[in-house]
Structure 1
Amino acid sequence: MVSKADQELIDAATSVISDRYRNDWQEVGAAMRTRDGRIITGVNIDAYIGRIAVCAEAIAIGRAITEHGDHGIETIVAVRHPKPGEPGKIAVVSPCGICRELIHDYDAKARVIVPDQGQPPKVVSIGELLPNKYKRGSE
């Protein structure tokens, strides 16, 4: 079950992708709350060459660091906007594997809002989404 503060993040991510949605270009929005309480949003950047695309979570993390300094990730969420004619509505999605790595690297105690198989979204730790994380050297 998500808290009022968690729902505020879902709403912020929904709002940013509603405002910035472009079919086949921007379809995912993210919102994160930094450990100092700021809410930062981002949308994915798609590209003709898929490997240079950047996820919405990475954009939000980058904006947070660039605009406010690295204050950690308290909670983060991503939502996906359906394509024209696709059934459904904007909904919470799980972060991809690369985003899981990035979130964990920037805050190993981050909370992540994820879908819950037809139930309302739930909150898990990034460690639950990425168990046995790779670490460099003697970390």
Structure 2
Amino acid sequence: MQKEQLIEEAINIRNHAYTPYSKFPVGAALRTKSGSVYLGCNIENAAYPVSCCAERVAIFKAISEGETEFDEMAVAADTKRPVPPCGSCRQVMSEFFNQDMLIHTTNIDRLVKTFTMEELLPFSFAPTDLPADEQ
């Protein structure tokens, strides 16, 4: 799947988002090294903190299916600029993505800005920061 197709998948999955509170649907498409694509949309809850962003839904779906090696991600929302992942998503992404992995941020007008994981969250907290006996 090419970058453009990944972006289309992210845009289209927004239609499945559950956003009765924010009215802000977001979609994500994550391609693994094996070539599988996992889609995610944001899912809100009346107890706001337990909501989950599209990026984390896609990552968690892939991991729950045994995928742990990732190749590329696209994230889409109806924003003026290409939509940036929130801080929580960036931290989860940094746990599972290589620092040079590409993340394509876009909007429904298909304006695209691509970042590496390192650019999205430089000097991130990592498993290697934990004491050796906790890893």
> Aligning the two structures, in what range does the TM-score lie when normalised by the shorter sequence?
0.7 to 0.9
Counterpart of 1:70, as a letter, is E
Q: Give runs of ≥4 in structure 1 deviating > 3 Å.
A: none
**Compared CA separation, residues 92 and 72, structure 1 to 2 (3 A):** farther
Distance 2:7 2:13 in 1: 10
Query: Is the CA contact 2:76–2:105 (under 8 Å) kept in the aligned structure 1?
Result: no
TM-score, scaled to structure 1? 0.76
Residue equivalent to 2:40: 42
CA positional deviation for 1:98:
0.7
What SS does the corresponding residue of 2:111 show, helix, strand or coil?
Answer: strand
> In structure 2, do the counterparts of structure 1 residues 21 and 107 end up closer, same or farther at CA, with 3 Å as the change threshold?
closer
Contact 1:14/1:29, CA 8 A, preserved across alignment: yes
Root-mean-square deviation (CA, aligned residues, Å) is 2.8
**Deviations, residues 25-45 of structure 1 (Å, cap 9, x unaligned):** 671111011111111101111
Pairs aligned (count): 126
- The yes-or-no answer on 1:131 pairing with 2:122 is yes
1:96 aligns with 2:86: yes
Identity %: 26
Q: In terms of mean alpha carbon deviation, does 73-82 or 45-54 score higher?
A: 73-82
Which residue matches 1:73?
70
Looking at structure 2, the residues matched to 61 and 9 of structure 1 have their Cα atoms a distance apart, in angstroms, of 15
